[in-house]
Structure formats: structure tokens, C-alpha cells
A and B are shown apart, each in its own frame.
Chain A
Amino acid sequence: MTDFLEAVQTVPLIRYVLFAGIVSSLTFGVVGSLVVTRQIAYIAAAIAHSILGGIGASVYFSRIYERGYGTELVWLTPMFGAMVAGMLSVALIGWVTLRFKEREDTIIGAIWAFGMATGLLFLHYSPGKAVSLESFIFGNILLTSRSDVIATLILGAVVLILVGLFYHKLVAVCFDEEFARLRGVSSKAYYFLLLGLTAISVVLMVRLAGIILAQALIILPAATASRFSRKLWVIMFIAIAITMVCNTGGLAFSYELDVPTGPFIVLIAVAIYTICLFVKRRRS
């Protein structure tokens, strides 16, 4: 463990990753608790997978541009593509779930697969050196840059501020959408807001854990936390703490043992969840 602590002090990359992990723990804990409470884990998973389409497109078009004009498009990063795709799939999934309640699961499954398929094709046809699909699906901290950390910080702050401002309305819409509507709260708008916050959070975590592992990480800490409290804000704080432990622990272990970070983060999350299941059963 001393190696890791030393690396935090000396290697900027490790510092960036550690910092990004801590910031995204805040958003994951808060948004994950809402997702688990509202029971839309599978919608979060669909959003997470569909952003691969945006990642693929951004890589493809930036490579094409680079080839054509000889310069790089600085803003066209995978994170930007992921964000755009995330927002598109939020719009689509939100509309589908509100409009076609009875076919919801089918259509969401289709969006999920469509996002992944287009992403894979874009990456396949991207000119230049082959892109490692693995790093997007399972995360690759080596790709983290200083600008990523800044973007994470800004977007994380946006998510937390929005939840802070609209906390009661978000909770009301999750609990009883119809009653909220009768009190003049636009239930649809807040449902979209919740999906949007989910998408942003997932995108922020992709570097660290990848899209597949990120969707597990948004659920597990909140699910663990909800076994220990019946107050949503307490659940949020516990979930934040658990996610921080997972992120930091995962990073430390992977650095020490020289193994991929994402899987370790998720393994810690699963371990904590399993232990808590056991502890709770023993008590009752």
C-alpha cells in the first residue's frame, strides 16, 4: 500500500484518477440512490450501454477530421460523444417510457443494443490505429487527462446542485407521480431530469470503470445503503461513502497488483453488498 500512497504524491495521473473517483462517488451515491429508489436500474443500464454509440462516433469523426485537415478537434473527445449520446438516449428512453408503457422493456432493450452496435461499427471503421474497445467497456484509467478531471468536477457540481435544488420535487415524483402533478409539479420534466442526471453520472464514471461496470456501480452501493436506512438522504451519504471506498480501494489494489481498475472497483462493491446482505440477515 505504501507504493500507492507514494504514487498519489508523485504521479499526476494517479492523482487525477483518485480525484475524479472521489468526485464521481458523490454523484454516483446521490443519483444511484434515486435510481434504486425509483426502481429504474434497467433504464440506467440502457443509458450506460447506449453511450458507446456516442463514444464510437466521436472517435470516428475526430479521426476523419484529423486525417482530412491535419489538425485535431480538441472538443471532440470520447467523453463529449458519450455525453451527447447519453442525452439522446435519455430523450428517447424518457419519451418511450412515458408514451409506450406496455412495450417499455422491449423498446429499451432495442435502444440499448442499437447504441452498442453503432458504437462497435464506428470504432471498427475508425481510420488510424485500432481503438481498444475494452478500455471503454471496462474502463482504462491511463486515458484520464487533466481536462477530464476538470470536466468531471464541473459536471459533478452541476449534478449535485440540481439534486440539491430540486430534491423534494424529484423525491415526490419518484414516490407518487400523479399527486406531484396535482400539486403543479411537472412530473415528466422531473423524470427527464432524473434520467439526465443518471446519464451524466454514468459518463463521468466511464474512464474509471467503463460502461458495463459503471452501471453496476451506480446500483450496488445505493442498494447496500438502502438496507441500513429508511431515510433517502442518509442512504445517499452511505452510498457516497461506499462508492468512495470502492473507487479508492479499487485504484489502490489495481496499482499495487498491476491489474485493471474497473473490475476491482466492482468486486469491492459486490463484496460489500454481499457482506451487508449477510450481516442484515444475522441481525434479523
Chain B
Amino acid sequence: MLEDVNFTIQRGDSLCVIGPNGGGKSTLVKLILGLIDPTRGSLTILGQSPQKAQRKMGYVPQAMRFDAQFPISALDIVLMGRLDRLTVGPFSRKCREAALAALEEVGMVDLAKRPFSDLSGGERQRVMIARALACEPELLILDEPTANIDLSIEAHLIETLVKLREKLTILMVTHDLDLVSSIGNSVLCVNHRVHRHSLPISGETIKEIYSSRRRIDHDRRSRHIEGDHSACDHD
């Protein structure tokens, strides 16, 4: 799926991962999260193996994956971010406070008791971000946070993420170029191989990345390997 991947995220970076569907974005995220192992090579996340670093990562999966009718409240979902601190029985008061603080941070504390099924798409997404924040992560990983969300709500979400950018390292998969320009400070283009671009990226490059029918892309890639970088805006 992916080959020749070699990149580093600096602490405090906001890295946006873009690229065509089927290009390996999700695979890359799963590798970083330690959900799958690379067939060759290795990853170091926060100085550790991905599995060991799992506790320090907060993950926001794609929203459409969830059963909207699941009988659970926003607060109970956010509390899942504290599961690693729970052995048996109910959550401690400290965990509940941390979960409420995380909801506060995304502006959802008033809706803490609401059932998941009553929330709008944007609200659900913010609950998922709060759940990741409840993990007290150093690295926040988001998989297409604005997919299937209204434009008006998206502005709200971007605002939340801009705030979070100040104190967290963010890695975000997205197709949303608005999001890239407001959050990202560099861009990772994933299409079986991985290329890093610094921002701002030119319209040309974006077109390159997204109009990439395989052949064009392959052409660009081979030019890359040969050292011709005219098609991309490298750092």
C-alpha cells in the first residue's frame, strides 16, 4: 500500500495529510496509531514504538463509522478517553471532571447529558474530539473531521481546531482545503508514496494531487525520483 515513507513531525506541528482515495492515508494513520504493523521498516512516535505511544495519542475517527442509535450520552463517550485509567467499576470523579473539561474545550459542556442520537453531525464530531482530548494527548490525530458536515458547522469546528493547534501536535487527514489552509503548517501528500509540502501550496500542486489519475501521478512520481520537482512545491 505504502512504500518509501520517510517523514518526521516536529512537536507543535500541524500536519495535514491529503491525497486521493485509496492512496494510503488511512493506512498511514493506522500505522501511526499502532493498529497495524509495517511489513518493513519502523515508526517512532514521541520517542517510542507506536504501541507504547498509544496512551499519548488522541484519535478522532471518521464520524460515519458510528451507530447513531447507540444508547449513550455525550459525556459517556468522552469518558472512553479515560478507559486506560479505569480497572473495574465506575469512573472516578477525577475522570468525570477531565471529561467535562474536554467537553468544555470544544464548547459542548451544556450538551454533556444529551444522547448521542440527538446530536447533530457537527456536535457529534466535537464530542469525538473531546473524547480524544480526554486522553490528554500530546499528538492529536483526526481522520477527515469535516466529512459529511455542513459548511456553517464546519466554521465552528475549524475554530475549535485552531485553538487546539496552539498546544498540541496535530496530524489530520482531510480532503478539505479550507481546513488545510487554516490549520496546517505543512502538508503531507500520500499517494502510495509520501511527499511533504510546505504551505502555502500552489493551486497547481493541489490540482496535481487531486486530478491524479494513476498515470499522471505515476509520471509525476517518477519525475520526483529523478530529481525533477517542478510539479511540486517542496520544502
Contact = CB atoms under 8 A, between A and B. Distances in A.
B83 A230 contact: no
A164 B89 CA distance: 6
Interface residues of A, number: 27
A176 B83 CA distance: 12
Nearest to A169: B83
Interface in B11-37: 33-35
A172 B71 contact: no
Contacts of A182: 33-35, 54, 57, 59
Interface in A149-193: 164-169, 171-172, 174-176, 178-185
A37 B55 CA distance: 27
A180 B83 contact: yes
A202 B22 CA distance: 44
Nearest to A235: B71
B83 A184 contact: yes
Contact of A176 (B55, B80, B84, B88): B80
Contacts of B81: 183
A48 to B, nearest CB: 24
A226 interface: yes
B118 interface: yes
Interface in B36-62: 54-55, 57, 59, 61
Nearest to B33: A182
A176 B89 contact: no
A230 B84 contact: no
B72 interface: yes
Given A168-B91, A184-B83, A175 B72 contact: yes
Interface residues of B, number: 34
Contact of A37 (B33, B54, B71, B90): B71
A232 interface: yes
A235 B71 CA distance: 8
Nearest to B114: A230
A279 to B, nearest CB: 19
B212 interface: no
A229 interface: yes
Contacts of B88: 165-166
B217 interface: no
B96 to A, nearest CB: 12
A184 B51 CA distance: 9
A34 to B, nearest CB: 11
Contacts of A176: 61, 65-66, 80
A166 B91 CA distance: 11
B70 A179 contact: no
A103 interface: no
A230 B77 CA distance: 13
B183 interface: no
Contacts of A172: 80, 83
B153 interface: no
Nearest to A172: B80
Contact of B115 (A167, A171, A184, A230): A230
Contact of B73 (A37, A185, A231): A231
B118 A230 contact: yes
Nearest to B117: A230
13 contacts: A37-B71, A167-B90, A168-B79, A168-B80, A168-B90, A168-B91, A179-B61, A179-B80, A180-B80, A182-B59, A183-B135, A230-B115, A231-B115
Interface of B: 33-35, 54-55, 57, 59, 61, 65-67, 70-73, 76-77, 79-84, 86, 88-91, 115-118, 131, 135
Interface of A: 37, 39, 164-169, 171-172, 174-176, 178-185, 226, 229-232, 235
The 8 A-B pairs with the shortest beta carbon distances in the complex, nearest first, are A230-B115, A183-B83, A165-B88, A184-B84, A183-B84, A232-B71, A172-B80, A230-B71
